[in-house]
Amino acid sequence: MRQEARVAVVTDSTPYLSPELVDRWAIHQVSLYVGWDGDLRPERDYDDLDAFYTRLRESPQLPATSQPSVGDFRACFEPLVSAGRDVISVHLASGLSGTFKSASEAARTVADAGHPGRVEVIDSQTGAGGLGCLVVAAARAAERGAELNAVVAAVHDARERLGMWFCLDTLEYLRRGGRIGAAQAMLGTALKVKPILTFGSEIAPVGRVRTRRRALERMTEYLSELHDRGATDWVVQHAQAPEDADHLVARGTAIFEGGPLFVTQVGPVLGAHLGSGVLVGGIARP
């Protein structure tokens, strides 16, 4: 039977890690909420992503999204701390969601209840696969037996070395959801281009191309450039674009002479703001 790490790793539902990695490191996830017409449900309850994205395309209204409550995080943190474990909790960029704030408040209540310094909450300043890479960095450090401060340092180090980008079919969902950030400048030509953006503390543009094929080529070029600089881990995610994801995985596997850390589909919370057709790439540099 596998021995539990001294430090428990917690995240939210938006890294969209593969179930295999979640199980391997016993990663705890606290779900964000999403839904239409006041019917907000935990993101993890949406098991039919095809149906979700079909409704997203057809509905005149965007679904609402919401961070977990302080109580949701307390329900996760308190049993772990009571069992004698420390906790590192790594979350979606605070510039995009109130998730980090809720987790931080929950950590304060745990400290006030007599467990100071047992829960460290980190703003990932990224999301999706980039957040996933940081969660994996935390899990690897915890598996090696690192103490809490060393696990925190491993996450900050991984964040400094992280590259994260994605391409969209349209900026319309970001515009309607109010999450467009520095990409606002691209709206004037949004109907004529396929924007390529970075996923940091805000969503910002890094390029634009005219066709989906050229977007795939540019994403492949990013992988090649970062491989040449010594990158190791890489990931691919998509929303209703499995053929594009397979293409990028095949090209990346040839470049790195090995497969990605994980390949998954973006779920409803981020999908509501990015739309279908999104293709995400993330990479950890040495």
Same domain, 169 and 156: no
Among 160, 175, 201, residue at a domain's last position: 160
Same domain, 134 and 223: no
Integer angstrom CA distances of residue 30 from 10, 133, 232: 8, 17, 28
Structural domain includes residue 88:
yes
pLDDT of 185 > 50? The answer is no
Residue type, 136: V
Separation of alpha carbons 45 and 207, rounded Å = 35
Structural domain includes residue 39:
no
CATH number reported for the structural domain that contains residue 132 in this entry: 3.40.50.10170
Count of domains for the chain: 2
Structural domain includes residue 59:
no
Domain that holds residue 231: 162-284
**Which position has the token pair 């980008």?**
165
CATH number reported for the structural domain that contains residue 273 in this entry: 3.30.1180.10
Same domain, 173 and 152: no
Structural domain includes residue 61:
no
Same domain, 153 and 21: yes
Structural domain includes residue 223:
yes
pLDDT in tens, 201-221: 677 777 778 788 888 898 899
Residue type, 279: L
Structural domain includes residue 113:
yes
User: pTM here?
Assistant: 0.91
pLDDT in tens, 33-80: 999 999 999 999 999 999 999 999 999 999 999 999 999 999 999 999
Separation of alpha carbons 119 and 112, rounded Å = 12
